[in-house]
Amino acid sequence: MLMRTDPFRELDRLAQQLTGVTGTWSRPSAMPMDAYREGEEYVIALDLPGVAKDAIDIDVERNMLTVKAERRPVVKTDDVQMELSERPLGVFSRQLVLADTLDTERITADYEAGVLTLRIPIAERAKPRKIAIGGKSEHKQISG
């Protein structure tokens, strides 16, 4: 139902985890996800803990789905002295090529407990259906 757009993205994600480098708008970090079919829908769940709902951007153009999010620092005043900072900040992004069998016009999105869940219905044209045979049968008699 979907294809990864960049086979080296996972290597970038691992390198970022090891080096502690955070994502930027020009080079965002990857976000972990699950993708599965549930009945007549395709479900994509993306982990975005600590990201505000208004910092998530979801776009679909033809069959390309793009999710971008930014986790901003919680500390907003100058008089705070940070003792430990391990949670990654910065920009996170994921691009997925969706199959033609998905109805990209009816994608829904929910965000709860740090998980963004996208539900994409299976397109009607992709569902199995019976084909009725029309017309009348004509039998010709052979005279001899």
pLDDT tens digits, residue range 76-113?
Answer: 778 888 787 777 788 889 999 999 899 999 999 999 99
State how far Cα 143 lies from the chain centre. Answer: 67
pTM beyond 0.75, yes or no:
no
Buried b (16+ CB within 10 A) or exposed e, 100-124: eebbbeebeeebeeeebebebbbee
